[in-house]
Amino acid sequence: MDEIKILLTEKEMPTHWYNIQADMPNPLQPPISPRTGEVMAPEELAVIFPEALLKQEMSRERFVEIPDEVREIYRLWRPSPLFRARRLEKALDTPARIYYKYEGVSPAGSHKLNTAVPQAYYNKKEGIKRLSTETGAGQWGSALAMACSFFGLECTVYMVKVSFQQKPYRRSMMQVFGAEVIPSPSDRTEAGKAILAKDPDSTGSLGIAISEAVEDAATHDDTNYALGSVLNHVVLHQTVIGLEAKKQMEKAGYYPDVVIACSGGGSNFSGLAMPFVHDKIKEGKNTRIMAVEPTACPSLTRGKFTYDYGDTAHLTPKMMMYTLGSEFVPPGIHAGGLRYHGASPIQSQLLHDGLIEAKAYGQLSVFEAAKMFAQNEGIIPAPESSHAIRAAIDEALAAKEAGEARTILFNLSGHGHFDMSAYDAYLSGKLTDSSLPEDTLKELINALP
Amino acid sequence: MDEIKILLTEKEMPTHWYNIQADMPNPLQPPISPRTGEVMAPEELAVIFPEALLKQEMSRERFVEIPDEVREIYRLWRPSPLFRARRLEKALDTPARIYYKYEGVSPAGSHKLNTAVPQAYYNKKEGIKRLSTETGAGQWGSALAMACSFFGLECTVYMVKVSFQQKPYRRSMMQVFGAEVIPSPSDRTEAGKAILAKDPDSTGSLGIAISEAVEDAATHDDTNYALGSVLNHVVLHQTVIGLEAKKQMEKAGYYPDVVIACSGGGSNFSGLAMPFVHDKIKEGKNTRIMAVEPTACPSLTRGKFTYDYGDTAHLTPKMMMYTLGSEFVPPGIHAGGLRYHGASPIQSQLLHDGLIEAKAYGQLSVFEAAKMFAQNEGIIPAPESSHAIRAAIDEALAAKEAGEARTILFNLSGHGHFDMSAYDAYLSGKLTDSSLPEDTLKELINALP
């Protein structure tokens, strides 16, 4: 019998991350300083990021060595397993081979730990005592809290107040790891105070929480800021997923015809995809590489490729990316990790260059796919990851229609153990589709420069 | 570098379960019928259990083959990893080697799936259409719901009403797998109706839920009952844990000096321990084998070895076991899976014969150990499993005191992702120790036959 789990030993874990910037046909456009309106000098960011990460942000080296101290911690869950979804294939009666890389085995429950660990490491090495960050749904906050605990760093997480109140268990998880979790807006920062002065009952937003975390880092010498997606160094760290997956697909004996991952800021998508984009650019493979996003926040499928800010308060540099506008607040769908107005510059450039594609789904069809997956494969997937499952199922059905034994690879970026209220809403018929109306979309795009 | 995770391939997964009944120096005392007061004939139980399981319940065959259909599903998460807790060892500054077998990788989140899958399989094979069961904390209910979904069986779970209300996420998990979850007491059964007539606001108990599930099975031809612990066939199925762990310890190059697991009904303890008890009996190994229970429910450390019922309502056979009395309701501690008045007959006999030992801890020291484990190893452990962690830490500290590099193996039977409210209570200082007062204990024991 063929194995269901394709495993790698710890010795087979990648020793280097892969940097797609070395191989992009069109290089990234430079970031623009929010202060000067000119191309940004890396030094401007040195007040909130360590030198090593800024270097990685700009690097065009093809391979960047993973420090031993980081690999030592990766070993707690990496290499992560690659599964063949045989029961799902059978349920779909498809000739397609469906493989999924499972990042939910990380102790924090998602791929976010892949970058949280090196970010904590480099900051520690450069003498930083504390990291500040923001979190919405809580995946990123709990990953960073754990990484900080491992390196003896303090960790301050500004958690969107409505999530702080509605998702107490992600908060508890961060606290178990010793992090301080502050409902945002708070009176800890000028940004938070200004919001509270206007609206004492504000339930917060990711934009406000970012402003608070950045201000906290910028105003404390011993404190830096950490971001869980969008930036080039985050994409770099996440490529450990795709590098492992490539080795595992080789062991399985198939090269994927289509590679699929969900996409918010783009970190889990880029992590799985970049090593396959490499093959497409350098070896002429004609793999389809698909980012899947919610119709409630369709930056890749409906957004504009232009310079925009990374945050609502316009404290970050402007970056060239697909965006719906930095002031856009998406409807409150249950895949909180996909509610970002833009996409990472790397992913955006590759989409613009036709090397990857994008697709959007409404959340009802996404939860339908999640339930089917759980009933066949056992794992309860995160709502974010379930966007990839939806697309993989549709690809498997298309393969059936065509009568072709295509190979499908997708990223199951995390489990849904902290998202059961979303399943509750779905099972009780309370979930709405939350797709963005056409008029709203047009207004958003027209307002962009 | 030595590996942190000792993995087995799917081909190395055990082909047979190990039956300790073949090797016990003193055989089990027979069960007594609640109806006749005489030794029970297996046929009496055939109305609620399939023949194959009743045969396993009585079997003295040393090895029982695992059906291919069961192994096919085990492969989704088995063989489970064995970890070396190097970061914990370092934090304790101990010369001890600490290994743990991690059953939380099962899609249902605990070891319970090891027996849920064969129970569903044998019932399906004998033409049963539906299984009924009870659940308190929800670990067992979600494992059986998943197993039923895999074999196309309907599943009815009577969930203690207070848990149904307070633990909505375990309930949602069962519903994702297609199970019907009924708050107990309910008006579905005579047992439930009788309780509701007396007390319409009853929040239920495990005893009542068992009565409802057993009645449901006994009164429907197409329906059987399934139990997640205590019984011999459950112990048999769980030995897949210890059989794998033995192979993995061989690969690691060490034989454990002490084997530790938490114990409620005894299923995860027996699963890890029995293959090592075998070595103790047959090969003269002097391994210490330790069951760890809460001081709130100390059946093994303070109970009496006597015939007692398995349930509160006295519908089950009387079995020879360590018990605090079948009408005892333990204080409401957060390790719900350890709140059982007795211990499995197999485990009880072995304790009586001096082949295993037992230890009890209060829940405050257990959560302290859980937090230390999470901060070092990353995994948030289930409160039940954390009893084993507490004992393992104390053994590692004893090894340090003695200056001996002892090898410690424990079972991490599940993760704590659905138990974060317990961590909340601990972190906010609201948790009490809940140990049973000495007077209460004496009264309980004195009331036993």
Q: Are A350 and A277 in contact (CB under 8 A)?
A: yes
pLDDT value of residue A1: 54
Provide the CB-side half-sphere exposure for A429 (13 A, CA).
Answer: 0
Burial A68-88 (b: 16+ CB within 10 A, else e): ebbbbbbbbbbbbbbbbbbbb
Q: Are A78 and A240 in contact (CB under 8 A)?
A: yes
pLDDT value of residue B163: 85
Asked if the Cβ–Cβ distance from B10 to A9 is below 8 Å, we say no
All structural domains of chain B:
5-10+68-109+233-446 (3.40.50.1100)
Helix, strand, or coil (residue A441): helix
> How far B374 CA lies from chain A's nearest CA (Å)?
7
Asked if the Cβ–Cβ distance from A421 to B172 is below 8 Å, we say yes
Asked if the Cβ–Cβ distance from B109 to A417 is below 8 Å, we say yes
A 10 A CB-CB count for B49 gives: 25
Contacts of B423 in chain A (CB under 8 A): 172-173, 175-176
Q: Cα-flanking dihedrals φ and ψ of residue A110, to 5°?
A: -155, 175
Residue A448 CA to residue B308 CA, distance in Å, equals: 75
pLDDT value of residue B63: 98
Per-residue pLDDT, averaged over B20-36, amounts to: 95
Q: Residue A176: which of B1, B87, B423 has the nearest Cβ? A: B423
Q: Residue B7: which of A7, A169, A421 has the nearest Cβ? A: A7
pLDDT value of residue A168: 84
Contacts of A108 in chain B (CB under 8 A): 378
Exposed, middle or buried: residue A236 (CB in 10 Å: 0-12, 13-18, 19+)? buried
Contacts of A248 in chain B (CB under 8 A): none
Exposed, middle or buried: residue A133 (CB in 10 Å: 0-12, 13-18, 19+)? buried
Q: pLDDT tens digit string along B62-118?
A: 999 999 999 999 999 999 999 999 999 999 999 999 999 999 999 999 999 999 999
Q: What is the ipTM of this complex?
A: 0.96
A 10 A CB-CB count for B281 gives: 16
pLDDT value of residue B130: 98
Asked if the Cβ–Cβ distance from B105 to A105 is below 8 Å, we say yes
The first and second tokens of residue A30, run together, are 């430079």
The first and second tokens of residue B335, run together, are 């390790």
Which of A339-353, B117-131, B159-173 is least confident? B159-173
**Given pLDDT bands bounded at 50, 70 and 90, which one contains residue B1?**
low
Answer whether residue B322 shows pLDDT above 80. Answer: yes
**Given pLDDT bands bounded at 50, 70 and 90, which one contains residue B394?**
very high
Residue B4 CA to residue A28 CA, distance in Å, equals: 39
Asked if the Cβ–Cβ distance from A375 to B177 is below 8 Å, we say yes
Q: Residue A380: which of B173, B374, B378 has the nearest Cβ? A: B173
Per-residue pLDDT, averaged over B389-411, amounts to: 98
pLDDT value of residue A390: 98
Q: Which residues contact A200 (CB under 8 A, 6 or more apart)?
A: none
> How far B177 CA lies from chain A's nearest CA (Å)?
5
CA dihedral in degrees (A102, A105, A106, A109; nearest 10)?
A: 90
Dihedral of alpha carbons B65, B69, B70, B74, sign: positive
Q: Residue A10: which of B5, B168, B418 has the nearest Cβ? A: B5
Asked if the Cβ–Cβ distance from B168 to A107 is below 8 Å, we say no
Chain A residues whose C-beta is within 8 A of a chain B C-beta are 1, 3-5, 7, 9-11, 75-77, 83, 87, 105-109, 146, 149-150, 168-169, 172-173, 175-178, 371, 374-380, 415, 417-418, 420-421, 423-424, 427
DSSP per position, A41-63: PGGGGTTTS-HHHHHHHH---SE
pLDDT value of residue A42: 79
Chain B residues whose C-beta is within 8 A of a chain A C-beta are 1, 3-5, 7, 9-11, 75-77, 83, 87, 105-109, 146, 149-150, 168-169, 172-173, 175-178, 371, 374-380, 415, 417-418, 420-421, 423-424, 427
Nearest CA in chain A to B415: A107
Q: Which residues contact B287 (CB under 8 A, 6 or more apart)?
A: B255, B256, B257, B258, B259, B276, B279, B280
The first and second tokens of residue B405, run together, are 């590099």
Q: pLDDT tens digit string along B224-265?
A: 999 999 999 999 999 999 999 999 999 999 999 999 999 999
Answer whether residue B162 shows pLDDT above 90. Answer: no
**Sequential pLDDT tens for chain A (449 residues):** 588 999 999 999 999 999 999 999 999 999 999 889 999 987 888 999 999 999 999 999 999 999 999 999 999 999 999 999 999 999 999 999 999 999 999 999 999 999 999 999 999 999 999 999 999 889 999 999 999 999 999 999 999 898 888 888 999 999 999 999 999 999 999 999 999 999 999 888 888 898 899 999 999 999 999 999 999 999 999 999 999 999 999 999 999 999 999 999 999 999 999 999 999 999 999 999 999 999 999 999 999 999 999 887 788 899 999 999 988 888 888 888 888 899 999 999 999 999 999 999 999 999 999 999 999 999 999 999 999 999 999 999 999 999 999 999 999 999 999 999 999 999 999 999 889 999 999 999 999 98
Q: Please provide the distance, in angstroms rounded to a whole number, between the alpha carbons at the two ends of chain B.
A: 57
Q: Residue A378: which of B146, B371, B420 has the nearest Cβ? A: B146
Q: Residue B76: which of A4, A77, A149 has the nearest Cβ? A: A4
Compare B215 and B1 and report the one with higher pLDDT: B215
Secondary structure element (H or E) that encloses residue A291, with its range? strand A288-294
Place of tokens 């309930």: B171
Asked if the Cβ–Cβ distance from B168 to A424 is below 8 Å, we say yes
Residue A323 CA to residue A314 CA, distance in Å, equals: 14
Asked if the Cβ–Cβ distance from A172 to B420 is below 8 Å, we say yes
Residue A365 CA to residue A390 CA, distance in Å, equals: 7
Place of tokens 């989704």: B76
Radius of gyration, alpha carbons of chain A: 20
Q: Residue B378: which of A146, A418, A427 has the nearest Cβ? A: A146
Asked if the Cβ–Cβ distance from B75 to A5 is below 8 Å, we say yes
Q: Are B104 and B70 in contact (CB under 8 A)?
A: no
Secondary structure element (H or E) that encloses residue B291, with its range? strand B288-294
Q: Are A312 and A205 in contact (CB under 8 A)?
A: yes
Interface A–B counts its CB contacts (< 8 A) at 114
Q: Are strands B288-294 and B357-361 parallel, antiparallel or unpaired?
A: parallel
Q: Are B172 and B145 in contact (CB under 8 A)?
A: no
Burial A140-177 (b: 16+ CB within 10 A, else e): bbbbbbbbbbbbebbbbbbbbbbbbeebebbbbbbbbb
